[in-house]
Structure 1
Amino acid sequence: MNKKTLNDVQVINKTVLVRVDFNVPLVNGIITDDNRIQAALPTLNYLINNGAKIVLLSHLSRIKEEADKAKKSLAPVAKRLQEVLNREVKFVPHTRGLELETAIKALKPGEVLLMENTRFEDVVNGELVKNESKNNDALGKYWASLGEIFVNDAFGTAHRAHASNVGIASNIKENCVGFLVQKELEMLSQGIDNPEHPFVAIIGGAKVSDKIGVIDNLLKKADKILIGGGMAYTFFAAMGHNIGKSLLEEDKIDLAKEYLEKANGKIILPIDSATAESFADVKAIFTDGIDLPDNLMGLDIGSKSIKLFEDELKDAKTVAWNGPMGVFEFENFKTGTVAICEAIAKLKDSFTLIGGGDSAAAAIQLGFKDKFTHISTGGGASLEYMEGKTLPGIEIIQTK
């Protein structure tokens, strides 16, 4: 990796601005999952142990109006971070101003400060201005002026050019990536850019339109692409099959035909389905082939498809997966996704990668968190990486 990392900068006695991803789920002010806080600990502990004065910036959800601010403060995050770090975390309920500046100047080496939700800057005096989300130049310069070094450790926002990542990095003398982002880039590079073959990609989810770039990019790299989820039915329609009431993107049928021709046998589709008469968690009706009667919709892959996909995976040396095989939130239609998790988990001496988003959520919820080489923390960012796109929050970081 050619980007500067924490090991390439001297942080002792320096005021270090760290963009973290503390966009945690909150219910009535209570954090229901602190995984994103835990993921930041390697970088934060390194900075503490190496005598940095640490200033943390994060967003928390979207801010569309003034009323959103009351329930989307980072105050509960500061409290939880203090517990997991076992040291005081100073919280400043502002994103700019004298109180923030004074608190930062008072920091001693090893001390930690968290400022308020960066997206509070998207609504000013009741007006939706999106200063953070649209990378307002003055805001990026102001935040950069508060420190001496910038560390981007928020992979989840790396595909966005915001004031708190690109804005600061553009206006500060020294910047680098933190350990979380460094690991993400190394793992994604190994899995997508430099895979050991056979390389099998698994693409699921609802819509072809969401995964056009991924399919396009991976057709050039993978030996096989297994396609499941709702998006498979647009491919079936392109092949002339009856898909009943299944999800269909009619405007993507020609594109699906094009991909099937271009793939030259690389694309492997399901051969049966678990269906229902409506989008509901009811007992599955299994079909014996691809064609469905008019009254049914496909909600998961069937047992023959599971066996087909398991056979395609068994010799894989690299597996990259993005998107579930069915409606895994439904008890009756999670079987395909569970089976894929199990099939990948059984692989020995293989590099296995989940590219964030729903497939990562599924693997974690289903108990497979430790069974993969890497599960990405950034849904949108990892998806764009898998598409071969440049990530603005990474691109702006200085090279070694």
Structure 2
Amino acid sequence: MAGHKTLDDLFAAIDLKGVRVLIRADLNVPMLDGAVSDATRLERVAPTLTELAGRGAKVIVLSHFGRPKGKPDTKYSLRPVAEALATFIGGKIAFGEDCIGDAAARAVEALAPGDILVLENTRFHAGEENNDPDFAAALAENGNVYVNDAFSCAHRAHGSTEGITHFLPSYAGRAMEAELRALDAALGNPQRPVVAIVGGAKVSTKIALLGNLVKKVDALVIGGGMANTFLAAQGKKVGKSLCEPDLLDTARHILANARAANCDIVLPTDVVVAAEFKAGAAARTVSVDDVPDDMMILDVGPDTLKHLAGRFETAKTVVWNGPLGAFEVPPFDRGTVEAARIVAMRSKQGELVSVAGGGDTVAALNEAGAADDFTYVSAAGGAFLEWMEGVELPGVAALARK
């Protein structure tokens, strides 16, 4: 990772025994009835924490949780999350009642080499989201070194993601390093041909993404409700389907830019339609030229899947964001599930590099039983999308600061 120092650089520079290492993790995990309902982010930060603790560092974890609006709120305390994190560390984790000031200083002072401490929610202070230099400096007082292992928060220029790097030598943690390496393999310096799959409901939410991808990939597969707007822009009737008529010119502009960049836009040639959107609804497959006026498009059809399978056979890299159809409701999950399984199989066989991200995408890959065989599945949401849009992420750029 050119420009980004990693833990290996840190280990080569100093003996960490007794050194206070501040780690920015993303402990903003979903909770249900007071318990963590999805521990993916805890699992991913655990290796960095245990590796540093194993070298005798005093490990101090910073994170936000929820939206407490810049003031303490017990509903958003990190204490229960810290307790859950301890199960992945395989040992005890201390907890500090604040992330700055006397309470934080006392908690840090009590640490022995190899101990791990989670400090209270950084968003209990307005200076976090405002990226206040005084708040960032107060965070930095508790550490000698800073490690960012929260790519999912890297699109925010906050006190604990960007501001703090002005005060401490800064490094990428293992999860951040893996994410950046995967993203570079997907779009930065990929093996070609590169196929990108972009799905979801609305073009309006992914205009910047589509505009960036047509300049970077060899083929762009557009699915979900977004595809309906592109089909309509080509003069096809889409019945009662989700569509954005005010973005037809935008869709045509994207198609024109793709042609100029020699990027193939892949749209459905056949689709699954139904009169209503509900589980088990009566559905049939039709050509995109024959969508009935009283029906809606809810998935791609078998001919489209066959074409996609051919694309995946020749691809060396696949980047995926968004489902191909209304995957939450069967039978409209078939297109996404079958395509995901093909990509997963080829990835497992070492025939292509596959990188996926986005909440709906991860859910769809899990439903298909394909996530574990993808080369990399990002746990980031907004940061992954902004990276795909070509936006410089402040938390990543800060790690390259000299």
Q: TM-score per shorter chain, which class?
A: over 0.9
**1:353-397 per-position Cα deviation (integer Å, ceiling 9, x unaligned):** 113332122212332122111111212112111121111001011
Tell me which amino acid in the other structure corresponds to 2:287. Answer: G
- From 154, 158, 169, the equivalent of 2:154 is 158
Give the Cα–Cα distance (whole angstroms) in 2 for the partners of residues 292 and 71 of structure 1: 49
Secondary structure at the aligned position of 2:331 is classed as helix
Give the Cα–Cα distance (whole angstroms) in 2 for the partners of residues 332 and 24 of structure 1: 30
Tell me which amino acid in the other structure corresponds to 1:364. Answer: N
TM-score by length of 1: 0.93
Q: 2:273 matched to which residue of 1?
A: 275
Give the Cα–Cα distance (whole angstroms) in 2 for the partners of residues 20 and 378 of structure 1: 12
1:272/1:286 contact within 8 Å kept: no
Kindly indicate whether residue 199 of structure 2 is the aligned counterpart of residue 197 of structure 1. Answer: no
**1:288-334 per-position Cα deviation (integer Å, ceiling 9, x unaligned):** 11142232222221222212211222111111111111122112211
- What is the deviation of 1:131? 2.8
**1:226-261 per-position Cα deviation (integer Å, ceiling 9, x unaligned):** 111110011011111111222222232111111212
Q: 2:37 matched to which residue of 1?
A: 32
Secondary structure at the aligned position of 2:127 is classed as coil
Kindly indicate whether residue 237 of structure 2 is the aligned counterpart of residue 233 of structure 1. Answer: no
Give the Cα–Cα distance (whole angstroms) in 2 for the partners of residues 279 and 60 of structure 1: 35
| CA 1:396–1:248: 2 relative to 1, 3 Å | same
Kindly indicate whether residue 313 of structure 2 is the aligned counterpart of residue 314 of structure 1. Answer: yes
Give the Cα–Cα distance (whole angstroms) in 1 for the partners of residues 201 and 279 of structure 2: 17
TM-score by length of 2: 0.92
- From 384, 391, 394, the equivalent of 2:393 is 391
Q: Which moved more, 1:2-11 or 1:19-28?
A: 2-11
- What is the deviation of 1:284? 4.5
> What aligned pairs does 1:230-379 form with structure 2 within 5 A after superposition?
230-264=225-259, 266-290=264-288, 291-347=290-346, 348=349, 349-379=351-381
Between the two proteins, the alignment pairs up a number of residues equal to 390
Give the Cα–Cα distance (whole angstroms) in 2 for the partners of residues 288 and 278 of structure 1: 16
- What is the deviation of 1:65? 8.3
Give the Cα–Cα distance (whole angstroms) in 1 for the partners of residues 87 and 114 of structure 2: 16
> What aligned pairs does 1:39-188 form with structure 2 within 5 A after superposition?
39-64=44-69, 69-121=73-125, 130-172=126-168, 174-188=169-183
Give the Cα–Cα distance (whole angstroms) in 2 for the partners of residues 42 and 284 of structure 1: 48
Give the Cα–Cα distance (whole angstroms) in 1 for the partners of residues 141 and 190 of structure 2: 41
Q: 1:127 matched to which residue of 2?
A: none
Q: Which runs of 5+ in 2 are unaligned?
A: none
Aligned-pair identity in percent equals 42
Give the Cα–Cα distance (whole angstroms) in 2 for the partners of residues 327 and 65 of structure 1: 37
Q: Which runs of 5+ in 1 are unaligned?
A: 122-129
Secondary structure at the aligned position of 2:129 is classed as coil
The runs of at least 4 consecutive aligned structure 1 residues that moved more than 3 Å come to none
Give the Cα–Cα distance (whole angstroms) in 2 for the partners of residues 251 and 5 of structure 1: 46
Secondary structure at the aligned position of 1:184 is classed as helix
Tell me which amino acid in the other structure corresponds to 2:394. Answer: P
Tell me which amino acid in the other structure corresponds to 1:139. Answer: F
Give the Cα–Cα distance (whole angstroms) in 1 for the partners of residues 308 and 107 of structure 2: 56
Give the Cα–Cα distance (whole angstroms) in 2 for the partners of residues 279 and 169 of structure 1: 49
2:239/2:296 contact within 8 Å kept: yes
Secondary structure at the aligned position of 1:103 is classed as helix
| CA 1:284–1:15: 2 relative to 1, 3 Å | farther
| CA 1:284–1:73: 2 relative to 1, 3 Å | farther
Give the Cα–Cα distance (whole angstroms) in 2 for the partners of residues 238 and 331 of structure 1: 28
Q: 1:4 matched to which residue of 2?
A: 5
Q: 1:221 matched to which residue of 2?
A: 216
1:284/1:332 contact within 8 Å kept: no
